[in-house]
Structure 1
Amino acid sequence: MADKRFKPFIPAETRMKELTFKALFLGVILAVILGAANAYLGLKAGMTVAATFPAAVISMAVLRLFKGTILEENIARTTGAVGEALAAGAIFTLPAFIMTGVWSEFDYVKSTLLMLVGGILGVLLVIILRKTMVEDTTLPYPESRACSEIVKAGQGGQSGAKFVFSSIGLAAFIELFKNPNGILIIKDSVRGFLQFGLSKINLLNAKAQVLTAGAQKAEFSQKGGMLLQSPAASPAFLGVGYIIGFKLSAITFSGGLFGWLFLMPIVLFLMYNNLHPFVIAGNSWINVAASAYNSTVKPIAVGGMLVGAFYTLFKMRKSLISGIVRGVSDIKTSKDSKSNKIARTEKDAPF
């Protein structure tokens, strides 16, 4: 039977620079930059993207100038990718304090302390689950596997840095001609409102409980419409779609079509009498439809995201439980062991 145990690319007995100041310093810089970028994308697009790939390429390109090792590149990449995870945790939780009325405004001190505590708890959880998650080869890690291949390829002189920096330049060039603060030539998107004519559907009368041959019917006549908008000409969104791949991009795009082209016409039809006074008051149907979308369709989307998150945790329940049990037992074993000869790959941060 083949040995399926995890074998590191750099053997455990190899002596090589790893946790150095230059690696940590570069990682912190990348964490700040990529964390800020992901915070913007998360609030703008509703999802964050993996910062691992740009962090890996940039760390290789920079550390190569200072003769950095592959382990130093790994430290810088991992530190830089943590910024994205922390930003995602912040933007998807802290706004809830404002929405629920717990906070009247953002408190930077409290927000910083919450992110600090959350980050530390995340690191402690990874200490417990690291061996189970890494050594169990049946778990798929497409992002990490792809990133490891990038780092390995960098050892042969292929860093891919020119593609990353050329993409940054192309995005900046496009943004220059679509941003109001630059040379505004093209619009980010074009949108309009398609007004429907009078439509009607047959509904049961309030007194009729069951649809029978003699049940009374009532006609429900309303107007409605559909808000049409072109996809945003955003380099950031193009980058997000490229990173997450065709499948996830198609799911996201189909969700947008479902919300705007199916749910919104129904909402505008059923709520026409409630929304039309806002139009009479001087608001455009475009703004009214956007407000209706935020108050009706977005909560449905949030519910779908919550269901998906809980379902993912449910599927991972066995791995999480076994990881916690194994992690606690490994901590006890390391305390009881009197040997100081611990392999490099077996060392954990002490609790």
Structure 2
Amino acid sequence: MKHDFMSHDLHLPELTFRGMLLGVLITIIFTASNVYLGLKVGLTFSSSIPAAVISMAILRFFKDSNVLENNMVQTQASAAGTLSAVIFVLPGLLMLGYWQGFPYIQTLLLCACGGCLGVLFTIPLRRAMVVNSDLPYPEGRAAAEILKVGSQNHGDSAKQSASGMKEIVSGGIFAGIINLFTNGFHYLAGEMSFWFGVGRGVTQFPLGFSTALLGAGFLIGISSGIAILVGMIIAWGGFVPYLTNVLPMGDAKSVESFAMAVWKEKVRFIGAGCIGIAAIWTLITLAKPIVEGMRISVQNMKMSGEERETHRMDTDMKPSTIALVFLLILVGLVVCFYSFVSAVDISPALMWTLVICGIVIALCIGFFVAAACGYMAGLIGTSASPISGIGILGIIISSLVVFAIASANDLFATDAGVKFATAMALFMTSVVVCIAAISNDNLQDLKTGQLVGATPWKQQVALLIGSVAGAIAIAPVLNLLYEAYGFTGALPRAEMDPSAALSAPQATLMTTIAQGIFSSNLDWDYILIGVGIGIIGIIVNLVLKSTTATLSLPPLAIGMGIYLPPSLEMPLVIGSLMSYFVGKYLVKRAKERSGELADADVEQCNRRGVLFASGMIVGESLIGVIIAVIIVISVTSGGGEDPLSMVGKDFANTAEWLGLGVFILTIAYFVNLVLSTKFNREEALEIQRINEEEHK
């Protein structure tokens, strides 16, 4: 039976118990995956489309499942890919030496309250930025197309949803096995570098073999990939060889270790400066539409019930419900900030001043970043939206506020006071990042809902559930990964290998900025050089956008290219190049074999690649988490740091070449998978029919 999903009188299962349960399970899985990937390389992936495919594949076994129920599952589960962005800041508390682990209740309250605030703040933005906006919402539209075609329980549509699930699972198994042989058994190396001299200095040509990052590169696109490559060339083709020529080696044991030290202690700050100015520029360019969106939203809030639309698809959560949730969030924030501040021996007046300031910053900055991130997600997509840039601005504002309070209360008289002030700024910023992350995703989900006929208030409830479910999972996963691998500059055990630590690049950057503001010992010269490079990148990007139809060079990605470890960047670059050249071939082939349906042909092939890439990200990440569990169990029971290792250190050189070989085969298999996709003309015609009906 066909239903008019846009009808006001539609009565179908939408927010169901089975859907919520499935959404919670998917949320926990993707949260763990995103936390691992984010700590490793500083990137997270959007889980909306993979969650939609998984939901359709499972719920199709129930006769009364429908597109609205599947949409609710992906809405809830997509919170996983975004709330995990708290890792961009929170690990800084361990790097600072303020925390020795992640306290469960504090981390849970921080993530849950921040995430739920992100949901509430986007409620008044829905009409302005979703209903009455021409923003493209690329991922929201893509998810809607998949849901429309794949949620039908018959014929080719059912086969399609099963096939999509197959790609995700096969990608996950494929990448998981490789990761097990790499980080578990150590038969394969995860990277290799070719070092060569440049005068008296040295640099490297790095290679990384992460299948998850190869998949992430396929998703980020050619512009970001090339920009990252430009950043790598600036760092390793320019500054590292130059500085290793002019600076003394000191106590470095080798020229290679000296080059890595120069990059970590000097060149990364150039990347930080570039990232900072790029983030500020992004917000400046969005200032006018954000202010306009907020103005329209405030107007809508002032309207009476009679003035507003009463259609099912235009009903948000009731004001009384919003007020109740907001009150619960406020209570949670008070408990959260008080528990953090009360651990320090300060006066009650100062304690409550900091608690109130933390809440005010969360509320005031939070609404602004909700609008900013919502707009950016609508403009360029959730995955490409620079949440870390919002975090940089957040840490600067939070640090300046705490600096003013601390200066007035002589907190800087002791080293402990400086450390506490820095930690307080990081803690405040973590809430802001949670708000930014969820709002970044929420409006994208609401756009998907609008296109498939969902009820907004039910989606908002689903996102609240997803935020809480994700928050429940984040602290245990963070503690697990910290105990197993450690973070750069924060190892739980002295005997651990620093080179195996998770880099947590954004958290390192946030901590560095906060410490620089409070202790005035930041090497601003390199940061200012980075600012200059960022300004040049902004100008080049503007010129490219104004003179070409498709070319761009995101300055934020250039900064990331300078800042991130090169072995992590190379698979991203390779993945983006692979996506570009495969895409060019697909367009050419589609014109020959599909005629007027060429766009649909290309979309079907690309979708298969996107799902397989998403599966690789999830598979490698989950195996990484499982290996972490095994390592922690081994260490706590008196065993070694590598309980699964099957080879000795003398196998390292062989493992590098084996890793390279497997990586090349992975690329070949991935490309063949996409190119071998057969065109489903019936599916393309069905999508075309649906779109034509919507435009009538």
TM-score by length of 1: 0.79
Equivalent position of 2:317 in the other structure? 349
Equivalent position of 1:4 in the other structure? none
- Three-state SS of the structure 2 residue aligned to 1:78 is helix
The one-letter code matched in structure 2 to 1:17 is P
Instruction: Report the CA distance shift for 1:229/1:72 in structure 2 as closer, same or farther (over 3 A).
Output: same
Deviation at 1:17, TM superposition (A): 1.4
1:66-108 deviation digits (Å, cap 9, x = unpaired)? 34211111111011111111101x1112134445566565433
**Is residue 2:176 matched to residue 1:176?**
no
1:169-195 deviation digits (Å, cap 9, x = unpaired)? 22123223323x13x333211124323
Q: Distance in 1 between matches of 2:254 and 2:70?
A: 53
Q: Distance in 2 between matches of 1:123 and 1:63?
A: 26
Instruction: Please identify the structure whose Cα radius of gyration is greater.
Output: 1
Tell whether the 8 Å contact from 1:191 to 1:227 is kept in structure 2 after alignment. Answer: yes
Cα root mean square deviation, aligned:
2.5
Instruction: Report the CA distance shift for 1:224/1:19 in structure 2 as closer, same or farther (over 3 A).
Output: same
Alignment of 1:135-174 (within 5 A): 135-154=131-150, 155=152, 156-157=157-158, 158-159=160-161, 160-174=164-178
Instruction: Report the CA distance shift for 1:28/1:318 in structure 2 as closer, same or farther (over 3 A).
Output: farther
1:137-184 deviation digits (Å, cap 9, x = unpaired)? 4212111111111112203332221211111122123223323x13x3
Instruction: Report the CA distance shift for 1:291/1:11 in structure 2 as closer, same or farther (over 3 A).
Output: farther
Alignment of 1:35-184 (within 5 A): 35-67=31-63, 68-88=65-85, 90-99=86-95, 103=99, 106-154=102-150, 155=152, 156-157=157-158, 158-159=160-161, 160-179=164-183, 181-182=184-185, 184=186
Equivalent position of 2:232 in the other structure? 256
Structure of higher RCO (CA pairs closer than 8 Å, 6+ residues apart)? 2
Q: Distance in 2 between matches of 1:311 and 1:341?
A: 37
Tell whether the 8 Å contact from 2:6 to 2:313 is kept in structure 1 after alignment. Answer: no
Q: Distance in 2 between matches of 1:248 and 1:12?
A: 42
Q: Distance in 1 between matches of 2:269 and 2:45?
A: 22
Deviation at 1:308, TM superposition (A): 2.7
Tell whether the 8 Å contact from 1:50 to 1:243 is kept in structure 2 after alignment. Answer: no
Equivalent position of 1:226 in the other structure? 203
Tell whether the 8 Å contact from 2:20 to 2:73 is kept in structure 1 after alignment. Answer: yes
What is the percent sequence identity of the aligned residues? 35
1:8-38 deviation digits (Å, cap 9, x = unpaired)? 9634442221111111121122121112211
The one-letter code matched in structure 1 to 2:89 is T
Alignment counterpart, residue 297 of structure 2, candidates 306, 324, 327: 327
Instruction: Report the CA distance shift for 1:66/1:111 in structure 2 as closer, same or farther (over 3 A).
Output: same
Alignment of 1:179-328 (within 5 A): 179=183, 181-182=184-185, 184-197=186-199, 223-230=200-207, 232-271=208-247, 273=248, 276-279=249-252, 283-328=253-298
Equivalent position of 2:393 in the other structure? none
Tell whether the 8 Å contact from 1:34 to 1:51 is kept in structure 2 after alignment. Answer: yes
Q: Distance in 1 between matches of 2:167 and 2:42?
A: 26
Instruction: Report the CA distance shift for 1:307/1:196 in structure 2 as closer, same or farther (over 3 A).
Output: closer
Instruction: Report the CA distance shift for 1:34/1:196 in structure 2 as closer, same or farther (over 3 A).
Output: same
Of residues 75-84 and 313-322 in structure 1, the stretch that sits farther from structure 2 once superposed is: 313-322
Tell whether the 8 Å contact from 1:49 to 1:244 is kept in structure 2 after alignment. Answer: no
- Three-state SS of the structure 2 residue aligned to 1:195 is strand
The one-letter code matched in structure 2 to 1:64 is R
- Three-state SS of the structure 2 residue aligned to 1:65 is coil
- Three-state SS of the structure 2 residue aligned to 1:94 is coil
Deviation at 1:298, TM superposition (A): 2.1
Instruction: Report the CA distance shift for 1:53/1:341 in structure 2 as closer, same or farther (over 3 A).
Output: closer
Instruction: Report the CA distance shift for 1:311/1:235 in structure 2 as closer, same or farther (over 3 A).
Output: same
Q: Distance in 2 between matches of 1:244 and 1:12?
A: 38
Tell whether the 8 Å contact from 2:37 to 2:44 is kept in structure 1 after alignment. Answer: yes
Tell whether the 8 Å contact from 2:244 to 2:258 is kept in structure 1 after alignment. Answer: no
Instruction: Report the CA distance shift for 1:17/1:91 in structure 2 as closer, same or farther (over 3 A).
Output: same
Moved over 4 A (4+): 98-105, 338-341
User: Tell me, which stretches of 5 or more residues in structure 2 are unaligned?
Assistant: 323-696
1:194-244 deviation digits (Å, cap 9, x = unpaired)? 2344xxxxxxxxxxxxxxxxxxxxxxxxx21113322x1111111111222
Q: Which has the higher helix share?
A: 2
Tell whether the 8 Å contact from 1:132 to 1:319 is kept in structure 2 after alignment. Answer: no
Tell whether the 8 Å contact from 2:54 to 2:165 is kept in structure 1 after alignment. Answer: yes
Tell whether the 8 Å contact from 2:48 to 2:77 is kept in structure 1 after alignment. Answer: yes
Q: Distance in 2 between matches of 1:242 and 1:269?
A: 36
TM-score by length of 2: 0.41
- Three-state SS of the structure 1 residue aligned to 2:112 is helix
Q: Distance in 2 between matches of 1:11 and 1:310?
A: 43
Q: Distance in 2 between matches of 1:11 and 1:299?
A: 55
Instruction: Report the CA distance shift for 1:104/1:177 in structure 2 as closer, same or farther (over 3 A).
Output: closer
Instruction: Report the CA distance shift for 1:313/1:224 in structure 2 as closer, same or farther (over 3 A).
Output: same
Alignment of 1:25-36 (within 5 A): 25-36=21-32
* Number of matched pairs: 307
Q: Distance in 1 between matches of 2:243 and 2:201?
A: 8
